[in-house]
Amino acid sequence: MRIKTQRIADWLLASVWLVMGLYCKVLGQVPRHEAIVADILGAERAIWLTPLIGFGECLFAVWIATGIYRKISAGLQILLVLIMNVLEFTLAIDHLLWGPLNSIFALLFCALVYWNAFTLNPKTHVETT
């Protein structure tokens, strides 16, 4: 049951990264994402950096879905989400969907990532499933 729950969580987390990367950034279906990148890194860079960031998020989704190096993946996810949130909160808060409340959702996402990698998978060695 624990493995099944973990795989469901893997796919849920991967789908978040895939939607945010592919739909929102690569395909440009949510212009707010490019506006956030523009506020943080500059408008001239946002045009090409936003899809590039989205592509990276798609690769992250594939990594998460595989379950390989789950703890390393989780650590990077948590680090990236927290860094992105601090940057967005300080430099682009006007473009956030829920403004300052975005931080709550980011922390809940980080908690799910942590729970999936470290609570459902307490072994210290690398698991691939």
pLDDT in the model for residue 14: 97
Q: The pTM is what?
A: 0.87
Rg (CA), the chain: 15
Task: Give, to the nearest 10 degrees, the angle between helix 70-91 and helix 102-114.
Answer: 170
Q: What is the pLDDT of residues 59-92, one digit of tens each?
A: 999 999 999 999 999 999 999 999 999 999 999 9
Amino acid identity at 53:
I
Question: Coil, strand, or helix at residue 21?
Answer: helix
Q: How far apart are CA 122 and CA 114, in angstroms?
A: 11
* Residue 32 · residue 46 · CB < 8 Å: no
Q: What is the pLDDT of residues 109-128, one digit of tens each?
A: 999 999 999 998 766 445 55
Q: How far apart are CA 52 and CA 58, in angstroms?
A: 10
Q: How far apart are CA 25 and CA 18, in angstroms?
A: 10
Give how far Cα 104 sits from Cα of 42, 61, 80, 85, 87, Å. Answer: 26, 22, 15, 10, 15
